[in-house]
Structure formats: structure tokens, C-alpha cells
Structure 1
Amino acid sequence: MSTSDATTVATRAQRHQKPRPASDFRPDIQGLRAIAVGLVVLYHLWPKRLSGGYVGVDVFFVISGFLITSHIHREVASTAHLKVTRFWARRIRRLLPASLLVLILSGLGVLLLTPSTTWSQSAHEIGASALYVQNWQLATSAVDYMALDNVPTVAQHFWSLSVEEQFYAVWPLLILGLLAVMRLRGHRDARKAILAGLSVIFVASLTWSVVSTSQSQPFAYMSTLTRVWEFAAGGIAALVLFRLRSRANEVLTALGLVSVVASGFLLTESSLFPGWVALFPVLGTVALLLAGPTTVGRFLTTRPMTFVGDISYSVYLVHWPLIVLVPHVTGHALSWVEKLGILAVTGVLAWLSKTYVEDPLRTRPLLAKAPRRAFVFAVVGMAVVVGSTATWSTALERREASARQDAADRLTGGDRCIGPGALVAANDCGPVAGDGPLVAPPEVVIVQNEEPLLRKCQQSLGGAGLLDCVVGDPSGRNGTIALVGDSHAGAFVPMVDELGKRRGWKVVVHTKGSCPSNDAARVLPTETSGERQASCTAYNEAVDKVVLGDPSISLVLATSYTRAYDWLGADGAKGAAAGEAGFASRFSRWTKAGKDVAVIADVPATAGGVVPTCIAANPDDPQKCAVPRGRAVVPDLAVAAAKAASVPVIDLTDLFCDATSCFSRVGDVIVYKDRSHLSTEYSKLLAPFVDQRLG
């Protein structure tokens, strides 16, 4: 922008009297920040009582859009310049010192206080958070069925900070672009040009948010593109800020407060959010920003509220690592007293961070004297965190590779008491859990969902096409069999691989996450659209066509996590009866086509937590990770359907349970790699027993 053009823009902006620019400091906005961070923190501590408290993040997004846009517009209007590097340097000084410190301390806390099963995921997410791309990493995991059992890490809350930093990086460039377009079109009113551009962004992003949320809500929740409209809403509010009569402002404040607070109580985790539902907290925040300080909102300007608003950034940074780490110290879920203690400690740590980290580095010459110093600090600080997590991850990978080799050696050693053999009375193996070192340690087992073979053999949630997966004996000298079902069937891939090699069978694998092989449609109440159900139906039709149309397939092994679903039959029937009938009709169709069919009974239920983490946390008492048999062994619709269709059942329950308990560690082998899927080692060790029971 030339000086003359910018001066003209400034002159026109000064003549325009209707809008009133936001002041440098508004205590009511600090109070609004207090409400936002309070909603988030209370939601994290008491999610059932404040089920929609996550909207506090959206309040922050709108405030950021409001303040940043107003600051940029004032700079353009008053100085005829926009120094982008100076803007970025201010953001670095304000945000990075505290965030990098929290990431470093959180990483140390993970190493000192948590089981080794959490280290790899934590290292990756801390590194992503330091680069402010955490939201995209979590968005990818959110739609990856293999990653759905990932536990929250100390850095998970950095997803929203990543969205904000991406906004800070792009927003000034976007406004400069809008001003450039304005000049090319011969316009001179900067406010109108920016307002028009933000309006387009608002509509486009909101539209995409609605579409994306309906298609894949977990991905949309973390995506920057579905949140840009919230920043744009705040920016538009800053540019159209106008004076209303006092009574109108009071009404606007009341409506805004009701909209924001009610969203916190009425929305839930199952709400189709962000999408159009996010309009309630967003427009409520806009109303409060437009109204300004009022009598109704007087409490927002009180000292307690502004104090919390002042430290809200640090409160957000420190509260989540405490929530994640404290249960590892106490050994149990957070109690009310412990939650109140976390609130108190969060306040103290946030004040210390604000007083001794944020303010000094933001205002003192060390970083404030020249923008270059701020950029150097950012590069060095990020490099330290990312370099540390990369070194950490590399060390873990080397340790895991060594452990895998040790496990492979022990699995081929011929010890009858390793794994399920420990439950065979004739083997006289001693303690069911075993009394030696684990064949594969917890940190190796917990990452087995990433193994290439499983990724190759199990179709994703949204995919409908069959994958080219062959295990066992590729020559198929003694025939071909098929393994079909959902991810619980996918967990048997190591078993059928070993079985195929024993019998000379080529094994074709057709498994898909959350998709049992059934003529009825599986239903999950947590799904917000019918996309996955339609994908599963299409996949099952393709599997059915292959099984019936391939004369080389002589045997079909089927298994599924039947207790996880509700069911809807083609005839309108619902519930367990529809699911059982759907299995039975499919099995009967295959047997009538001349195929042998055998159903493997589903594995027993676990305690619900991540099993390797439980084993790592209780190395001397694996019984803490066991489940009473009466609770673990539940009815299996596929087994009931097999009996109705005169199909044989391979029941392996005795290789997981004794008369009273079902175990998570058997014969020095961890049974499950997550909450319900077999570990690679245990699956492989089941092969000789399945071989024997197939006859």
C-alpha cells in the first residue's frame, strides 16, 4: 500500500462516524474471558454436570477475532501501515514463553509420573503442540479407527491454541490481501473492504462447518477451517461496533449471557458441534462484545472476574496437565476434593506464570526491544521442545524394536506356558499371569494398532472397497479360507496367518472397523450421520459377493464385537433379534453355497481401560487388571446365530478365563493391545488351539 493510498484510507475511516473502535482495554472482555475459561475448566473437571462447557473455546475464538481485527484496523487507519512482523512479534512475546514452559514441564511430568505406555503418544503430541499443529494431528486421530482408543495426553488441550496461532499467522496477511484487492478495485474505505472480506469468510467457513460436521464430526471439531467463521464473527463485530441506547445494550447483554451460559449446560458431547449449533455461543459472545459494559453485565467488570480474565491464558495452559497427571499419582480417578485442589493449584500456578513469565518477557527489553529477538526466541524455543520430543521418540522406537525382537525369539522357543498355554491345566504352569518378564512390554503392545499388516488388512471407517490382504501360505497348496468381520476379526489376523502357515492355507482377510459381517445394519448411537452405516452396508455386500463368487474359498471364519452395536433389520426389526437374524441369514447363505463356516466366539470383555497401561501401572499385581468371569463373558449374537444356522462355534473362553476371572495378562503375555482388541502376541499364540478345535 502506498503512503498516499493509505493516508486516503485513514482519512475516510476518520470521517466515518457511525462505528466506534474498541478501546485498548475493556474490563468486561476480561470478565468474558473468565467465563470462557471457567466453562472449559469446569467441563474438564465435571463433564457430566457442565456437558457443554467446551463452548468456552468458541468464546475465546470470537474474542480473539474481535480484538485482533480491531487492533489491525486501528493501525491501518491511524498510521497508514500494517507492520506484520511487529504484530507477529507481539503474539510471540504474549503467548510462547508460557506455552513452551508448560510443554517442557508437562513432558517431564509424563516421564516421571506416568506409565511407559503413554510416552510415545505424549512425545508426538507435545512436539505437534510446540509447532502449533496439534489440532490437525488430533483431527487425523479422531477419524482413525485404529487410534480411537488413544488416551488424552498432557498436550491435548493445545488443539485450540494451535487453531488460534494459525489464525494469528494468517489473519494480518489476509487483511493485507483484502486491502490490496480494495486498491485494485478503486475503493478507499478500508473498513468496508475488510468487512466485506470477513463476511465472505464467515459465510464460507460456516457453510463448510455445517457440511463437515454432518459428515465427520470428530474431524470437524478439530479443524481450523470449520472454526474460521468464529474469528470472522468477532472481526465483523469489531468493525461494525455501534452505539445503542442504554436499554438496548442491557437487553443485548442479557441475551448474550443467556446464550453462552445456557450452551454450556444444554449442549452435550453428542451435540452436532461445531456446525450451526455453534451459532449460539458465538452470537452470544458477539452480543456481549457489541453491548460493552452494562448494568446487567456489571459483574463482568468486578475485580474477581477481571483477575481471572487476566490469568485466563495461563489457567487454560496449566489446568489440563494437572487433570491428566494427578490420577497417575493417586492411583485412582479424581475425587471431588482432588478436583477442588486442582482448581486451587491451577489458580496459583497461573498467577505465578502471569507474574513471572508472561508479563516480564512480554514487556521487558529482552524480547520487546526488537521483533527479531522475539523470532529468535520462538525458533530456539520450538527447536528445543521439538528436538527433545524427537530424541525421546527415537529412543522409544529403538527400545520397542529391541523388545519386538526379544518377543519374536521367545514366541518361537516352544515354551508351553507362554500365553494361553498357562491356562491349560495339563501344562502345570503355575500362576496364570506368569512369573517372568513380559514377552512384549506394554509400550510395545499399545502401539500395535499402527502395525503395517493390520493397516493393510483392515478397511477404514469410511472405506467400502475390499482390501488386497493375503496371509498364511500365499500358494494356498491346501486351499483358501477367508476371515471376515469387524476390528475384532482384524485382531485375529496374526492367528490366521500362523494357522494358514500350519495348514498350507491361503487366507484372504476382509475386515472393516466397526462393521460386523451381518445382513442387518449395525447402529451406534454415538454416530451423528448414516455415512458409516451406509459404508458398512456397501462393504458387507462386497464381502458377500466375493465369498459366494470365489470357488476357491472353502472355509469362512467369522467373528465380531457383537455387544458393541444395536441393530436394524431389512424388515424393520430392531434390537438383538434383528442382529441375530442378520448373522444367521448370512451364515446360512454361505453354507448353502457349499462353504464351510465357523464362528469364533468374541473375546471376553475387559475392565474398560487401556489394558497395557493397566499392566504397566500394576506390574506386581496383574490381578487388578482382571475382570470377574460373570461380567466379562457376555452373550454373543454371532454365536447364537451360528447355533441357529447349524454352524460350528470355536469357543476360546477357556484360554482367557478360569472359573472365576478373565485375565489381561496370561503366561507373561499381555492379552489386549487396547480396550478390547487382542495383542499381536496373544493372537498368534492362539493359532495351535484354533487349529486343534477346527478338527
Structure 2
Amino acid sequence: MHELPLHNPAEMRHVLLLDGVAGLMDVTTNRAVVGTRNSGIDLLRGLAILLVVLHHIGLRIPLKKSLLADVLPTRLLSALNYNGYEAVFVFFVISGFLIASHALRRDGALAQIDLRAFYARRFSRIAPCLVLLVVVLSVLHLLGVDDYVIKREGQSLPRAIVAALGFHLNWYEGVTGYLPGNWDVLWSLSIEEVFYIGFPLVCLLTRRAWLLVPMLAVLALSLPFTRAVLEGNEIWQEKAYLPGMAAIATGVLGALLTTRWPAASAGVSRAVLWVGAVGLLAVLLAERWLWPLLHDGSMLVLTTSSLCLVVACQWRQDLPALQGLGWLRRWGQLSYEIYLTHMFVVFAVVRAYKAMGSDQALGFLWYLPALPLCWLLGAMVERFISTPTERRLRTRLLSRSVVRQPAVQPATAMD
């Protein structure tokens, strides 16, 4: 029987040198544990958050009804507008990979996770923006501002607050129906944080790779079946805990894989990269052909493809194709802040669009101010709220923790 990966000092140094991963989405981790960021993972996260924003705009101002449909394939325009849900599952995979990778580097093995430090980091990253968002949304509800009032029968502001801060907003929506858009985005955070509340406890209880890895594999492979058995409640089918946790478990398995094999040949890494890219594009662009064949299995293709891309980016951190995409990588670095705040911009832009006559043919023009404004709001929140507050909280909460590795100042951005 073997403990969960414990490496000799030389091997651990090798891992640390090769691992340029910075922080999450996790939909939540984005701060660097070591001094550099992994540009490929940031780029993938940037693509995911961009698809989320395009989805929420597209539900209200669809590109396929604009003049762009005369020059671009409708399938492409629909792919840009209607893959926000799939993008969240990409985030889940990245989150599982980065959180587990960071824990392995800090503590040497998942069986040796420092519970206090783990939860302190999660709280420091999640709580400031989450609490601020809930306060702002509560004030807007009490002021009766359109788009922010909770008015569905069976729902109330106090109960929504408890659901948001208690990480069961997904369940609350499954029972009562959709909340206003700014509240609704918190469904994924509920799944992610419940996973991370239980994950280190499971690691400490199992303490053996031969126990933990099969458990993670079963959970990861359960994705098509957990979605299928939830038919009958559309909201709960999409937002239940197990499907999201299956995607996160996929990422954790990837972290164990790259910790065990921190490097691969150029040929292997290139092949894994292409498999991931083709699989992801197939799900995003050709789901109408995949769905009749695979049904909910297409989500497993999505998570597996995302994992291939993440693993390839971990093995190859010098991808030449990343040059010139700094703007998209920056979106990835700000993904948590943009995710929580972008609906403020979406609602404002849609109201302006309607006030100007709701001309669907020119609807694509409203994306031009919406996208940079989403980025700007996320950047402001990151600079003035999340980063300084997280730094102070970590300093206070981790001051008494045992430091197992030299502390490194985190880079800007989600951990």
C-alpha cells in the first residue's frame, strides 16, 4: 500500500520548477502559488469566461438574429452565444486541477493536507467578493431596481442570502426556480465550494492512493449518468452537485497524473493537446451532431478534452501559439471577478439596447461596449477589493500555520 504521492526532494524540486500554474476559477482560484503563471491554462480560462459573458448577452441579444448572420455561419454564432454552461464545466476541470496541484506542492501529498491552511486560503479568496456581491444585490433588491428584485413565488431575499452564503443556491433554484441573473451565477460556486469543504477530509480519511484514485475516477466517469437520472427538473439537472463535482474530480485526477509524471516528450504533449482541442471544439461547435450519438456523454467528452488541454499546458509552458493572446489570458486571470460582476454590465447594456429600439439586426454592436466594460469592472474589483482583502485575510488566518515551503508572493489574479 502506498501513501498519496510523496516525492523525494529532487522530484519535488522538479515539480516546482516545471509547474508555472497560477491560481484558479477555480470558477474560483486565480492566485499564483509559485512565482509564474501558466499562460496556457490562463488562456483556456479566458476562453471559458468569455463564453460565459457571450452567453448571457446572447440570451438577450442573439448574434444569429443580427447582420452577422449574413456573413458568418449561424452555427458559429450560436456556438458563441450558447456554450456558457459548457464553459462552466471547463472551469470546474481547471479548478480541480489547480487546487489539487497547489495542495500537492504545499503539503507533499493529499494525505497530508493542512486543513486549517487549505480552508483559510479558500475563505480568503472566496469570501470578500462573494459577501460584497450579496450585499450589493440585497440593496438593489430592497430599492426595487428592475432586474434585481427577487419576486418569484416561494423565493425571498433572506432565503436567497442564506443559499448564496451557505453554498446551496443551486439546490434552492432547483426547488424554487431561477433567481435574477446576478444571483443565478452563484450556482457554480455552491458546487465548487461544497466539493472543497469535503475534499481534504476525504483525502485525510482515505490516506491511500489506491482508495482515493478509484473514488475520483468513478465520480469523474459518472457525469453522463448523474445528469441522465436527473431528467424531469431542468434546473436541477444542470445545477446539481454531482455533475459539477464529477468535472472537478476530473481535474483532480489530472493533478495527480502530472505530479506523478511532471514532464512528457514533445510528441506526447502535442498529441494530448490536439486531442483536447479537437474534443473541445467538437462539443462547442458540433453538439447537434454529437448529442444524438452520445447524449449526456458529450459532457464527458467536454471534461476529458478540457483535462487534456490542461495537462498539455502543464507539460508545455512555452506554446508558441499563445503569442498575441495576452488580452484573453488577462480575461482568464480575472475570471472570478468577471464571473461575479459581469451581469451588472449585461443588464445595463441590454436596457440601453431596449431604450434605443431593440434593433436586432444591429444587436452585435452592443457587444462592443459590453465586453470591455465586463473586463474593466472585473479588473477594478480585482485591484481594489479582492487582491488587497485576500492578502490581508491570508496574512491573518495563516500567520499561525506551519509553513512547509518558502512563502512566495502571489501574482495578480484566483487561489
TM-score in terms of structure 2 length: 0.72
How much has 1:40 moved relative to structure 2?
1.2
352-361 or 323-332, larger mean C-alpha shift: 323-332
Shift, 1:46, TM fit? 2.1
Identity of aligned residues (%): 24
2:253 corresponds to which of 226, 233, 236: 236
Give the distance between the partners of 1:274 and 1:85, measured in 2 at CA: 41
2:280 is aligned to 260
Give yes or no for contact 1:237–1:286 (8 Å, CA) kept in 2: yes
Where do 5+ consecutive residues of structure 1 fail to align? 142-146, 183-190, 374-695
Q: How does 1:236-635 map to 2 (within 5 A)?
A: 236-241=253-258, 242=261, 243-267=263-287, 275-292=296-313, 293=316, 298-299=321-322, 302-324=325-347, 326-328=349-351, 331-332=354-355, 335-364=363-392, 366-371=393-398
Query: What is the distance in 2 between the residues matched to 1:358 and 1:113?
Result: 26
How far apart in 2 are the matches of 1:195 and 1:116?
43
Distance 2:323 2:301 in 1: 20
Deviations 1:393-427 (A, max 9, x none): xxxxxxxxxxxxxxxxxxxxxxxxxxxxxxxxxxx
In the alignment, the residues of structure 1 paired with residue 323 and residue 384 of structure 2 have an alpha-carbon distance, to the nearest angstrom, of 26
Query: Does residue 66 in structure 1 map to residue 116 in structure 2?
Result: no
User: Residues 112 and 261 from structure 1, CA distance in 2 versus in 1: closer, same or farther, beyond 3 angstroms?
Assistant: farther
Closer, same or farther in 2 for the Cα pair 1:297/1:289, shift >3 Å? Answer: farther
Q: 8 Å contact 2:220–2:247 — kept in the other structure? A: yes
With structure 1 as the length reference, what TM-score do the two structures score?
A: 0.45
Of residues 118, 123, 133 in structure 2, which corresponds to 1:102? 133
CA distance in 2, matches of 1:79, 1:116: 41
Contact preservation (8 Å) 2:334, 2:379: yes
Match of 1:200 among 218, 235, 240: 218
TM-aligned CA distance change 1:100 to 1:271, over 3 Å: farther
Post-superposition offset of 1:27: 2.3
**Residues 37 and 274 from structure 1, CA distance in 2 versus in 1: closer, same or farther, beyond 3 angstroms?**
farther
SS at match of 2:217: helix
Contact 2:353 2:366 in 1 (8 A): no
Q: For residue 31 of structure 1, what is the amino acid of its counterpart?
A: L
* 1:99 Cα deviation after fit: 2.0
Gaps of 5+ in 2: 22-37, 63-77, 401-415
Partner residue, 2:165: 130
Q: Distance in 1 between matches of 2:382 and 2:148?
A: 32
Matched to 1:65, the amino acid is G
How many Å apart are 1:193 and its aligned residue? Answer: 4.3
Matches within 5 A, 1:151-170: 152-170=180-198
| Cα drift, residue 175 of structure 1 | 1.1
Residue 240 of structure 2: aligned partner = 223
Higher strand share: 1
Structure 2: how far apart are the matches of 1:262 and 1:104? 40
CA distance in 2, matches of 1:286, 1:236: 9
Write the distance in 1 (CA, Å) between the matches of 2:333 and 2:191: 21
Name the CA distance, whole Å, in 2 between partners of 1:275 and 1:300. 35
Structure 1 or 2: more helix by fraction: 2
Whole-Å Cα distance in 1 between the matches of residues 249 and 297 of structure 2? 15
1:30 matched to 2:58? The reply is no
Q: Quote the Cα distance in structure 2 between the aligned partners of 1:282 and 1:371.
A: 33
State the match for 1:176 in structure 2.
Answer: 204
1:206/1:229 contact within 8 Å kept: yes
Letter in 2 for 1:23: D
Bigger shift: residues 56-65 or 241-250 = 241-250
Measure how far apart 1:93 and its partner are.
Answer: 0.9
Task: Give the SS at the match of 1:98.
Answer: helix
Q: Distance in 2 between matches of 1:360 and 1:79?
A: 29
Deviations 1:314-339 (A, max 9, x none): 11111123323554566556943433
1:134/1:162 contact within 8 Å kept: yes
Where does residue 688 of structure 1 map in the other structure?
A: none
Q: What do the CA deviations read for 1:122-181 (whole angstroms, capped 9, x no partner)?
A: 72434422322111111223xxxxx5xx674321111111111111211111111221xx
Distance 1:41 1:28 in 2: 20
